[in-house]
Amino acid sequence: MRVEVGSAVTYRSWMTKRSPFRYFRTSPEVIRLAVMMYVRFPLSLRNVEDLLHERGIDICHETVRFWWNRFGPMFAAEIRKRRVEGMRSSRWRWHLDEVFVKINGERHYLWRAVDHEGEVLESFVTKTRDKKAALKFLKKSLKRHGHADEFVTDRLRSYGAALGELGIRDRQQTGRWMNNRAENSHQPFRRRERAMLRFRRMRTLQKFAAVHASVFNHFNQERSLYSRANFKRNRAAALAEWRGLFAA
């Protein structure tokens, strides 16, 4: 069967523009709301179910679980794509730190990179805290977000060894209070971890950490740095942009 080139291009364009909600009877607005409530706030699946029920939306908590697993990474990828260029220009200072997370009683490490404005750049889960893990985490972060002028870390030797192998050991900064930016950025994730009663698989932790980081960046308005009027405008703009994700 002969197919015209122009027709094939048009067909492929139409296929790529189809809504990801096309097979769901629930409206996209409800799905976005459920995913936002679960990822952004320290709520359980049943908490989200009850809050939606108060708004006249009758769904099961397992539906919320399915929605966040299906659409959460898609929303996070779209937010990251829109913000990545601006984040690549944020080259002044990165804060690197790792969080201890237990999965089925076994300790894992969630490596996180945060820039000087509090943007979560990268989240990466490993089983070890050695040079190999630090090097893999740094390579992934640098590939996506470009280079930084300074890397603020704690006194873990793995950071120095990994930065030395990359040839940027001279950019490392350590100090007792210098890494408070990274320490404070762990708090929203810790609240979510407690609400979820911890994680059961390494893959789930990596997936949720990446989605949570993008959603946190999107709605993080740093209200203490702005007037009330500016904060309200920024908050409304962030919410409007969220509601426009994959809109027809």
Of 3.40.50.740, 3.40.50.1820, 3.40.50.300, 3.30.420.10, the CATH number of 90-200 is 3.30.420.10
Which amino acid is residue 124, in one-letter code?
F
CB 98 within 8 Å of CB 112: yes
State the pLDDT at residue 228: 87
Q: What is the pLDDT of residue 87?
A: 60
Indicate whether 86 pLDDT > 80: no
Instruction: Please report, for the chain, the start and end positions of each structural domain, with discontinuous segments joined by +.
Output: 5-86, 90-200
Long-range contacts, stretch 101-109, CB < 8 angstroms, 24+ apart: 101/125, 101/193, 101/198, 101/199, 101/205, 102/198, 103/198, 103/199, 103/200, 103/201, 103/202, 103/205, 104/200, 108/202, 108/205, 109/133
Cα–Cα distance measured from residue 19 to residue 235, given in angstroms and rounded to the nearest whole number:
26
212 with 39: CB under 8 angstroms? Answer: yes
pLDDT bin (cut points 50, 70, 90) of residue 17 is low
Which whole number is the average pLDDT over 46-74?
95
For the stretch 164-218, pLDDT in tens is: 999 999 999 998 788 888 888 899 999 988 888 888 899 999 999 999 999 999 9
